[in-house]
Structure 1
Amino acid sequence: MAQKKAVKKTEKTQDFSKYISWFWKLFALGIFAFILLFLSASWGLLGEMPDHTVLENPRTNLASEVISSDGKTLSKFYFEDNRTPVSYDDLPKDLVDALVATEDIRFYEHSGIDARGTLRAIFKMGKGGGASTISQQLAKQLFTKQVSSNKLGRAFQKVKEWVIATRLERQYTKEEIIAMYFNIYDFNNNADGIRSASRIYFGKEPKDLELKESAMLVGMFKNSSLYNPREHKNPIGTKNRRNVVLAQMAKYGYITERVRDSLQKTELDLDYSPESHREGLATYFRANLADFMKDWIKKNPKPDGEKYNLYNDGLKIYTTIDYRMQKYAEDAIAQHMPKLQAEFDNQNTPDRNPTAPFLELDEKEIKSIMEVGMRRSERWRHMKYDLGKDDKEIIASFNKPTQMEIFAWKNGKYTEIDTIMKPMDSMRYYKSFLRPAMMSMDPQTGHVKAWVGGMNYKHFKYDMVKQGKRQVGSTFKPFVYATAIDQLQLSPCDSLPRTPITIEANKFNNPQAWTTRNTGGNYEGYQTLKEALASSTNTITARLMNEIGPQPVVEMAKKLGVEQEILPVPAIALGTPDISVYEMVAAYSTFANKGVYNKPVLVTRIEDKNGTVLYQFQPESRDVLSAEVAYTTINLMEGVVQSGSGARLRDNWRKNQQFTKEMLTGYPWELTNPIAGKTGTTQNNSDGWFMGMVPNLVTGVWVGCEDRAAHFNKTKYGQGASTALPIWALYMKACYEDESLNVSKSEFERPANLSINVDCSKATADNDTIDDNSDDDIDIDF
């Protein structure tokens, strides 16, 4: 009996031993399978894995950065990823602490995989929180893709993430991993990476983020699409998520409970500043810069022969634009244009002008203008060439009501209105808007400091600084005066009669006899050249042209940087050529730069993402005039501001009856320093100009409608002194208030041994004095 019990006990022991043996075999097999799984992942059997080289240089799309002359980011060039990386040293401590406290509290203890977190996730079936470390999340962002529908695939992906995470930990320091994670994450709204996110959501650099701002951005790591702080998305959910981050920071001792409680009660306090190609500062300049860069890229390949990619290669483009001056320029336009437009609209109501916004046109002429505009429109191009529609179908589409968003001034500010309108009607609507253009340049260096090609790039994409070319009116007259002074050695104090002059047909290739007239019909007496330019006396300009001929004037304009073909006929004296603001500013800068022309400079250097200099600008300059002639021309133009149409810049200008004070935004401007300038107004008040100069800054402003047939009916509103000059005044006043800019208030430098007499205080008694109540200071050219 005892023997039988012993046998049974032995059999049971053997059976139990078998189970134990199988357990260890299965355990060993599991370990082997686990190791084999990781080895398979590392060998690439579970999908492509990054090699050592790729780990050293993970490929991410980097936006090219446009940097102002004062070191601020103007914008980015990017297709999908608006990403500009920052180093760990540029991240505030609160931001890093918030990330570690919320995403991976044992980050500094593990080597890529948090064993405790992983076991917790396994035993709780994922209900106790995830187990991904910051390193794993970085691996997922850099090298793997989300698999949502296949559980097995997701498990394999997790293994790949573990392997890559451990490799990343061997390759990089903890600080580098944190910086890479912040730089790679997509925070939505074109905010790729922490630098774009901090700029877009809070208008500041990462290093300047406050604690609650850091907490909000870290909170978005959970799901940036869900926790989107913008008003129409999920600001409440984002705030709650931010408060969770603050609670985590308090839990682990990074902040006190008192700080947590006080910050959790605050609002998000966004300063949303979108960074898109159609928004932000210097949009028109950036569009021109894109053309510059595309041309540069064509001519300058990489060392391996490949072309640089403006949108992915992380180039740094250092420009001449001054961030502060650009903002002052755009602010000046935003202040003046709504008031000017309000008066224009008031004069073009259907009752006052049935053909609004056009004047002096019949229906047939208006129809022709609209048809030309239709065929030049982006809508026509898209339907014709992208969609392959025929002309009949395209024309029909312009008369079908369409949902659209249109530009409008409301209460003196820009707004957008959702409406339903026929595309043809919207074209006519946009033709009713006055458009501005402005460029500011340092004459000594050629550096362009401000560039505003219109009032809203989203709705008015045509750049009126360089693309647009309009009649320049009396702003062309200094070219005539400078040529005459150069050839005839005239002085600003020399006098000429105001009487009418006729240049006969066939003289200077003149097709027919040309007789000039003066606005207001004043032809009596004599004027000095300085008085004549100040009052823009047409007959005296014509007399100068009769003496020197148009060809030397054309040659002078060309040397000054005017690129257009100018027909050498006498009428150019009064400003008939179409010239861009860009060319006019460069030309006037030659006078301020002692007769030396500098080609406008937009870019000073270009660097690759590693800081290697790829391009360094070389100045292009040439001697055009002697310093003596240039200074004398400046002296003439100072008279325009002292007693002519630019005199309203001074605090003693009293000619308020010319038009309502309300039109003069910011008046009185009270600019008392030396200023040289010239206003210009073309026939029918279609174009208003003001060119203004101080010794180290030359600025040109143009205002007009898209079509010359749309314009003010009265000169007191449409002249350059009313439309363009106030923008210049507001801009300069802001520049002077910012003392860090060092915009000159000094006299223009007088050449040593100046032989031309510029002191007209001893002018003869025969010279007329400008009557402040006359019409002679209105720049009408025909």
Structure 2
Amino acid sequence: MGNTKKTAKEKKQEAEKRRKFSKYKSWFWSLFAIGISLGVLLFLLAGWGVFGPMPTFEELENPETNLATEIFSSDGETLGKYYNENRTPVKFDDLPPHLIEALVATEDERYFEHAGIDARGTLRAAVYLGKKGGASTITQQLAKLLFTENASRNPLSRIIQKAKEWVIATRLERQYTKEEIITMYLNKYDFLYQAVGVRSASKIYFDKEPKDLNVEESAVLVAMLKNPILYNPAKEKFKDNALSRRNVVLSQMEVNDYISEAEKDSLQQLPLKIDFTPQGHDEGIATYFRVYLQGFLKDWIAKNPKPDGTEYNIYRDGLKIYTSIDSRMQEYAEEAVKMHISNLQKEFDRQNANNKTAPFRDITQGEANDLIKNAMRRSERWRVLRSQGLSEKEIEASFEKKTEMQVFTWDGVKDTIMTPRDSIKHYKSHLLAGMMSMTPQTGEVKAWVGGVNFKHFKYDHVKQAKRQVGSTFKPFVYATAIDQLHLSPCDTLPMSLYTIEAGKHGNMNDWTPRNSGDSSDEYIGMVTLKKALAKSVNTVTARLIDRIGPKPVINLIEKLDIDTRNIPEVPSIALGTADLSVFEMVSAYGAFANEGVYVKPVIVNRIEDKNGTILYQHVPETRDVLSSEAAYVTLNLMEGVTQYGSGQRLRGNWAVNADHYKRAVTGYPYEFENPIAGKTGTTQNQSDGWFMGMVPNLVTGVWVGAEDRAVHFPGITYGQGATMALPIWAIYMKKVYGDKELNVSKEAFPKPENLTIETNCENYGKNGESEVDSLPDELDF
């Protein structure tokens, strides 16, 4: 047998090995303990805020977010938003299940199993150095969005940030349910194009609410969570990326048994399809209204602080504004303006082709140059160059240098090369419009169109602009005379010239207004008040204001909330020399349709905070202005305008050989058969065209003109209110009547009980008097 005893040397070697192993083992556990301790210390230090502020309990309870203020129409549609970040929160119950499933399957498969940190995912990420997916859970991603900033590329900074995310994630998990965390994450994420949060993203990329998304659309949004730039379906060069990533999401849903393999294969074959609908401040409907509403809210906020004394912020407090605007009527109004003005512009440009001072008329070339120069001085370009220290001569020279730019046309925005000076002339040559529609019984503003294109023409022609109103002022004179003198539409007055002498009613000089035709026939015989208003007979209006005086007329319109500070107490106001806004005219006319009761226009019915607490509720403001009898008789007079006056073209029986007229008028013939009270208005040189139209439960006013009064049609055929403005009203009302849900009346105006003034003039139009003259012209002063 061999000797099995170990030698002393071998024993010594084994003892040395055991000692070394024990030493290594001790070192390993020491290092392991130190690593664990350092890790614990790292998280403790992060939790204590040593590496930067950490959210408090209160901040976790109410994480700070910028919530957009949302504007709703009276029929429940979103008109627009005010925001720093376009975020409107959505509740978990309003998220479709397949969106949640796509999110969990792609971003965090064990989301409902872990407590904020996925140990398996973290270990996998560490072993494979992130090559097989990262370790961030949905909760960690929320923590990063809410409370941490992007770390630098420095490894230590990234470790520290990750530690902070872990700590915050575990705190969030203790504070919120899994459903709340998912909802917060989807409400916070920025999908680009001002789509912050899944509701904005759903509206902008697919023009629908999140609950209406289908599976493949949900997959597109979840795909964007990896990188909203690289996988953005609205960016042409990244559409293939977006499609590929969407299909990865669908595969993950199949792997996690949310959809079947057949469903996955079918959905992956579908093309990438979006309905991109930007929600910038210049886009969408009711853009001019939203700007005016902004001012309304600013005034309201100044007078109504929060309970803690601070001010509400419409850009981050998530207010809900419930307005009077009807989204359907607003769309019809905008369509009517676009249809008519785009057509009328073609005729305007045609008539300007040989105009040496185009787009201006009736002024010298020097005066035209002055208008352009004044516009240059008011421009943003002038302001910027002035701030850079350039001299006036240098700035003017810059306006003569051709440059690449985009300009508005009715065929779309066009890329072109022109001088800034010529671009000013280009914009000044465009016809503009203002339109407002209101329910007279409640004062609710249903449609507000301040211009033809908000992005290119910011000035609001509903409330901001004031223009001469022409013959649309005459009903105020007639109403005052009826109220004071108990006149009937059947009463007659002479057509003859009439002079109000100097010194009477504050007149500085003799005033002898003339009628539009100014032929000898214009001043012969008698005319009923009904036809006098229908044909805008200036001499009759002069006789009326001489009998009642200007002061009672001013008193009436002041009660109708018209600003009278710049309206002189002289007889010539009877023909519409005053500058008034569409807003003032519509609200004032509303009293005629509301039996003499003025109702102050309302644009906001209710304001709520983000939790649904009512902060403001509209209270109607009304006042009696006219007797119901005087209001009804005035309406009866204005019905004559649409029966045999300048508004007769609304009727199907209007027959005038006017091919030239049809070139400029969209939608003719209109063929309305229901009672309509209205009044056209045209100012000197055809600078302004107006039409005010009323049915029992809707009053609408339209103005058409250009930025400068020197930009106008050369003649009355196209330059009168019946051609410029009336067609917009007609197109709008055809659309409104076509929508039966709106319940806009076609009935007669309600007649007051015990009416004492005769309105049924049966003999009118007999004895050889023609009810329909040639193409009706009107000119007021």
After TM superposition, is the score higher than 0.5?
Answer: yes
Give the distance between the partners of 1:261 and 1:338, measured in 2 at CA: 48
Pairwise CA distance, 1:206: 1.1
* 1:57 is aligned to 2:62: yes
Q: 1:193 aligns with which of 165, 182, 197?
A: 197
Q: Residue 14 and residue 368 in structure 1: after superposition, are their counterparts in 2 closer, same or farther (change >3 A)?
A: closer
Match in the other structure for 2:98 = 94
**Which has the higher mean CA deviation after the structures are superposed, 222-231 or 579-588?**
222-231
AA partner of residue 472 (structure 2): T
Q: Is the 8 A contact 1:525 1:767 kept in 2?
A: no
* 1:593 is aligned to 2:594: yes
Q: Is the 8 A contact 1:383 1:389 kept in 2?
A: yes
Deviations 1:364-400 (A, max 9, x none): 111222222223333334444x556554443333333
Give the distance between the partners of 1:764 and 1:245, measured in 2 at CA: 77
Pairwise CA distance, 1:505: 1.8
Match in the other structure for 1:526 = 526
Match in the other structure for 2:274 = 270
AA partner of residue 86 (structure 2): N
Deviations 1:245-269 (A, max 9, x none): 1222122222223332332233332
Deviations 1:477-511 (A, max 9, x none): 10110011011100111111212212222221112
Q: Is the 8 A contact 1:405 1:418 kept in 2?
A: yes
Deviations 1:546-596 (A, max 9, x none): 211222112212112211421122211111111110100011001111111
* 1:22 is aligned to 2:19: no
Q: Residue 614 and residue 389 in structure 1: after superposition, are their counterparts in 2 closer, same or farther (change >3 A)?
A: farther
* 1:632 is aligned to 2:636: no
Deviations 1:99-125 (A, max 9, x none): 111111111111111111111111111
Match in the other structure for 2:325 = 321
Give the distance between the partners of 2:389 and 2:461, measured in 1 at CA: 30
Match in the other structure for 2:444 = 447
SS at the partner of 2:87? coil
Match in the other structure for 1:66 = 71
Deviations 1:165-201 (A, max 9, x none): 1111111111111111110000001111111111111
Q: Residue 769 and residue 549 in structure 1: after superposition, are their counterparts in 2 closer, same or farther (change >3 A)?
A: farther
Question: Any residues of structure 2 matched to 1:647-662 within 5 Å, and which?
Answer: 647-657=648-658, 659-662=660-663
Match in the other structure for 2:83 = 78
Match in the other structure for 1:483 = 480
AA partner of residue 43 (structure 1): W
Q: 1:430 aligns with which of 414, 424, 427?
A: 427
Q: Residue 488 and residue 381 in structure 1: after superposition, are their counterparts in 2 closer, same or farther (change >3 A)?
A: farther
* 1:255 is aligned to 2:255: no
**Which has the higher mean CA deviation after the structures are superposed, 45-54 or 682-691?**
45-54
Match in the other structure for 2:292 = 288
**Which has the higher mean CA deviation after the structures are superposed, 421-430 or 605-614?**
605-614
AA partner of residue 778 (structure 1): D
AA partner of residue 425 (structure 1): D
**Which has the higher mean CA deviation after the structures are superposed, 157-166 or 233-242?**
233-242
Match in the other structure for 1:141 = 145
Q: Residue 2 and residue 260 in structure 1: after superposition, are their counterparts in 2 closer, same or farther (change >3 A)?
A: closer
Deviations 1:691-732 (A, max 9, x none): 011111111000001111111112111111111111111111
Q: Is the 8 A contact 1:527 1:768 kept in 2?
A: no
Q: Is the 8 A contact 1:112 1:165 kept in 2?
A: yes
SS at the partner of 2:289? helix
Pairwise CA distance, 1:3: 5.5
SS at the partner of 1:234? helix
Give the distance between the partners of 2:266 and 2:339, measured in 1 at CA: 40
AA partner of residue 588 (structure 1): Y
Give the distance between the partners of 2:362 and 2:250, measured in 1 at CA: 68
Give the distance between the partners of 1:425 and 1:662, measured in 2 at CA: 28
Q: 1:115 aligns with which of 106, 115, 119?
A: 119
Pairwise CA distance, 1:764: 9.0
Give the distance between the partners of 1:542 and 1:126, measured in 2 at CA: 89
* 1:723 is aligned to 2:727: no
Deviations 1:643-679 (A, max 9, x none): 2111211222212427332322122222222211111
**Which has the higher mean CA deviation after the structures are superposed, 141-150 or 417-426?**
417-426
SS at the partner of 1:292? helix
Q: Is the 8 A contact 2:688 2:703 kept in 1?
A: yes
List runs of 5+ in structure 2 lacking aligned partners: none
Match in the other structure for 2:340 = 336
Match in the other structure for 1:173 = 177
Q: Residue 241 and residue 311 in structure 1: after superposition, are their counterparts in 2 closer, same or farther (change >3 A)?
A: same
Match in the other structure for 1:736 = 737
Give the distance between the partners of 1:595 and 1:781, measured in 2 at CA: 26
Q: Is the 8 A contact 2:347 2:663 kept in 1?
A: no
Pairwise CA distance, 1:316: 1.6
Give the distance between the partners of 1:608 and 1:383, measured in 2 at CA: 43
Question: Any residues of structure 2 matched to 1:228-627 within 5 Å, and which?
Answer: 228-349=232-353, 352-384=354-386, 387=388, 389-410=390-411, 415-520=412-517, 521=519, 522-564=522-564, 565-627=566-628
Give the distance between the partners of 1:117 and 1:656, measured in 2 at CA: 82
Deviations 1:584-612 (A, max 9, x none): 00110011111111121111222222222
Q: Is the 8 A contact 2:498 2:513 kept in 1?
A: yes
Give the distance between the partners of 1:717 and 1:262, measured in 2 at CA: 59
Pairwise CA distance, 1:231: 4.4
SS at the partner of 1:555? helix
AA partner of residue 211 (structure 1): V
AA partner of residue 199 (structure 1): K
Give the distance between the partners of 1:201 and 1:556, measured in 2 at CA: 52
Pairwise CA distance, 1:423: 1.8
The normalised TM-score by structure 1 is 0.96
Match in the other structure for 1:780 = 779
Give the distance between the partners of 1:260 and 1:653, measured in 2 at CA: 63
Pairwise CA distance, 1:762: 4.2
Q: Residue 631 and residue 381 in structure 1: after superposition, are their counterparts in 2 closer, same or farther (change >3 A)?
A: farther
Q: Is the 8 A contact 1:195 1:205 kept in 2?
A: yes
Match in the other structure for 2:752 = 751
Q: Is the 8 A contact 2:187 2:196 kept in 1?
A: yes
SS at the partner of 2:433? strand
Q: Is the 8 A contact 1:472 1:576 kept in 2?
A: yes
Deviations 1:279-308 (A, max 9, x none): 211111111111112222222222222222
Q: Residue 233 and residue 551 in structure 1: after superposition, are their counterparts in 2 closer, same or farther (change >3 A)?
A: farther
Pairwise CA distance, 1:421: 2.2
Q: Is the 8 A contact 2:656 2:774 kept in 1?
A: no
Give the distance between the partners of 1:779 and 1:483, measured in 2 at CA: 22
Q: Residue 554 and residue 233 in structure 1: after superposition, are their counterparts in 2 closer, same or farther (change >3 A)?
A: farther
Give the distance between the partners of 2:130 and 2:276, measured in 1 at CA: 36
Q: Residue 219 and residue 212 in structure 1: after superposition, are their counterparts in 2 closer, same or farther (change >3 A)?
A: same
Pairwise CA distance, 1:7: 4.4
Q: Residue 658 and residue 528 in structure 1: after superposition, are their counterparts in 2 closer, same or farther (change >3 A)?
A: farther
Match in the other structure for 1:222 = 226
AA partner of residue 567 (structure 1): P
Give the distance between the partners of 2:765 and 2:184, measured in 1 at CA: 77
Question: Any residues of structure 2 matched to 1:4-43 within 5 Å, and which?
Answer: 4=8, 5-43=10-48
Pairwise CA distance, 1:335: 1.0
Pairwise CA distance, 1:463: 0.7
Give the distance between the partners of 1:449 and 1:637, measured in 2 at CA: 22
Q: Residue 333 and residue 763 in structure 1: after superposition, are their counterparts in 2 closer, same or farther (change >3 A)?
A: closer
Q: Is the 8 A contact 1:525 1:768 kept in 2?
A: no
Q: Is the 8 A contact 1:525 1:766 kept in 2?
A: no
Give the distance between the partners of 1:614 and 1:501, measured in 2 at CA: 57
AA partner of residue 100 (structure 1): V
Give the distance between the partners of 2:767 and 2:626, measured in 1 at CA: 31
**Which has the higher mean CA deviation after the structures are superposed, 416-425 or 8-17?**
8-17
Pairwise CA distance, 1:766: 6.1
